[in-house]
C-alpha cells in the first residue's frame, strides 16, 4: 500500500510541476506581449505628439494666410 501512495504522490507532484511550467510559460508570454504593447503605445504617443505639433503649425500658417486676405479689403 505504501508504494501505491508514493506512486500517486509522485504522479501528483509531476502533474503539479507540469502545470507550474505551463503557467510559467504563459506568464512569460503575457509579459512579452505587455512589453510589445507598451513599446507600441510609446511609439503611437510620439506620433500623436508630432501630429499635434504639425496641426498647430498648419493652424498658425492658415491664420497668417487668412490675415493676409482680410487686409486686402476685397468686396
**In this structure, how many other beta carbons lie within 10 angstroms of the beta carbon of residue 53?**
10
Q: Is residue 71 part of a domain?
A: yes
pLDDT score of 53: 98
Q: Is residue 4 part of a domain?
A: no
Q: Is residue 63 part of a domain?
A: yes
pLDDT score of 10: 95
Q: Is residue 13 part of a domain?
A: no
Domain containing 44 equals 18-75
Distances (CA, A) of 33 to 22, 37, 48: 16, 6, 22
Q: How many domains does the chain have?
A: 1
Q: What does the pLDDT look like over 10-60, one tens digit per residue?
A: 999 999 999 999 999 999 999 999 999 999 999 999 999 999 999 999 999
Q: Is residue 1 part of a domain?
A: no
Residue 64 has pLDDT above 90, yes or no: yes
For the whole prediction, is pTM greater than 0.85? no
Q: Is residue 6 part of a domain?
A: no
Residue 1 has pLDDT above 70, yes or no: no
Amino acid at each position: 500500500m505504501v508504494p501505491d501512495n508514493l506512486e500517486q504522490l509522485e504522479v501528483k507532484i509531476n502533474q503539479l510541476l507540469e502545470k507550474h511550467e505551463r503557467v510559467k510559460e504563459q506568464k512569460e508570454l503575457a509579459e512579452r506581449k505587455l512589453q510589445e504593447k507598451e513599446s507600441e503605445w510609446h511609439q503611437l504617443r510620439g506620433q500623436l505628439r508630432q501630429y499635434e505639433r504639425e496641426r498647430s503649425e498648419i493652424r498658425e500658417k492658415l491664420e497668417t494666410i487668412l490675415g493676409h486676405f482680410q487686409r486686402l479689403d476685397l468686396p
